[in-house]
Amino acid sequence: MFRKMNGFLVVILIFIMAACGSGGGNSGGGGGSADGEEDAYQTYGLNFSPYTGTGQDPNKGTVISQSQIKSHLETILAYTKWIRTFGSSLGMEHAAKIAHNMGLFTAIGAWLGSNAITNDEEVQNLIAGAKDGYVDLAIIGSETLFRGDLTPAELIVYIEWFRQEVPDVPVTTAETYDIWLKNLDLIDHVDVVLANYYSYWEGIHIDDAIANVHNRHQQLVIKAGNKDVIVSETGWPSAGDSIGQAVPTPENAADHFLNFISWARAEGVDYFYFEAFDEPWKSDYEGPQGAHWGIWTKDSEMKDGMMGVFNGETIDDNWTGECTPGGSGIPEIEFTYVPPIGSFNNLEGQVRHADTNLYGAAVYIYTGGWWTKPYWNDPLTEIACNGYFICDITTGGVDSTATRIAAFLIPVAYDPPLMSGGINLPDELYDIAVDYIIVDR
């Protein structure tokens, strides 16, 4: 819950009363009941988007009916305390009222893109819902900075607009954890930090996924100061393409759900799990895995293996510990997969004997000169707790023809030099790095 925010005192009181009643879920860590059976459990929150029908796509203007919203909420009602939505138009402006009337707490989003007219409509609808008393937390934008649709200054204008209109309702935005770390000034303009963590998209093996989430979350908690940090999105698809070491299967999706909830309960972290239902439309934008993030299928059937969480099952701590793969020793960096010339696959590597909280990889490719990868505004590749890293080295026109690839293991506090065709890499890079590797292909 939002412990440090005076504006949430009423919501906290209601939440505590609900949790203590006969229908309340168990919000603490692991323990079972006195007779040996696990206690029933409700998730803290679920990401809720009901575009499950054939051809339904918010990007194409699909208007969702109130009856469809209500039907989908009825499916998940017994399994969660909160819902989080993403937009406040195309029928979704009714979601907060419907959910509130069903007894759910609501974190309601206004979708922001690059179109000022639709942005204004979204925020105005969210303001109206909040003034009517149906919004417990307002979320202005979802990964807006990550997509580059707005600048931080433009996003802050929308946040402060809402705050001025509805000062008694807490307001924030949702971004990936790394965007928050790169825009710490944004934290001053929100009441609570909502961060997305996706070990799947980072190519992390399922066995290391929650340790990776834990590591990223702790970094952000330190930077957030006195602001609570809530997980706004995390999940694992049950089908789709493998990314690095991340393999989407029904078993891995269920494993991630159970492992994450075990972590959240043990660590006392509030969250919105991604997501309630499979949404077929997302495959057009995210690849085949986009349609398979749900706990429930598009037909509202709970997927195999998911019920264990709601039965109160948890697993032991497998997420804490030092992030120094291989233990103490001389730091090493190596490539575990180098794509062949002409391939658009990602570069993969492994680091050993270095604290991954303190070190990152600066990656460069040579195509007539050295170029920073993946981007100038993202020149440092993060390393997972187990030492694994993955980097997109084909983000430009002729990148797939690169004849040399280099990676330097450097402190995260060091800004690596930005290369845009220079013939030689700077000497200081070799001096700062604790290890490096350069390969020809």
Tell me the average pLDDT of the chain.
92
Question: Can you read off the two tokens belonging to residue 167?
Answer: 């000062």
Domains and CATH numbers, the chain: 6-310 (3.20.20.80), 332-440 (2.60.40)
- In tens, the pLDDT along 261-316 reads 999 999 999 999 999 999 999 999 999 999 999 999 999 999 999 999 999 999 99
Give the model's pLDDT for residue 39. 81
Torsion angle of alpha carbons 226, 232, 234, 239, nearest 10°?
-170
Local confidence band at 322 (pLDDT 50, 70, 90 cut-offs): confident
| Amino acid of residue 227 | K
Residue 83 has pLDDT above 60, yes or no: yes
Local confidence band at 46 (pLDDT 50, 70, 90 cut-offs): very high
Residue 21 has pLDDT above 70, yes or no: no
Give the model's pLDDT for residue 5. 37
Residue 27 has pLDDT above 50, yes or no: no
- In tens, the pLDDT along 336-389 reads 999 999 999 999 999 999 999 999 999 999 999 999 999 998 999 999 999 999
Distances (CA, A) of 165 to 128, 131, 159, 170: 9, 8, 10, 12
Give the model's pLDDT for residue 9. 33
Is the omega angle on the peptide bond into residue 411 within 30 degrees of 0, that is, cis? no
Give the model's pLDDT for residue 29. 34
Residue 22 has pLDDT above 90, yes or no: no
Helix (H), strand (E), coil (C) string for 56-94: CCHHHCCCCCHHHHHHHHHHHHHHEEEEECCCCCCCHHH
Local confidence band at 38 (pLDDT 50, 70, 90 cut-offs): low
Torsion angle of alpha carbons 298, 301, 306, 311, nearest 10°?
140
What secondary structure does DSSP assign to 94-120, as a single string?
GHHHHHHHTT-EEEEEE---S-HHHHH
CA distance 120 to 113: 10
Give the mean model confidence (pLDDT) for residues 107-112: 98
The answer to whether 277 and 50 are in contact (CB under 8 A) is yes
- In tens, the pLDDT along 119-143 reads 999 999 999 999 999 999 999 999 9
- In tens, the pLDDT along 214-258 reads 999 999 999 999 999 999 999 999 999 999 999 999 999 999 999
What is the percentage of the chain residues whose pLDDT exceeds 90?
90
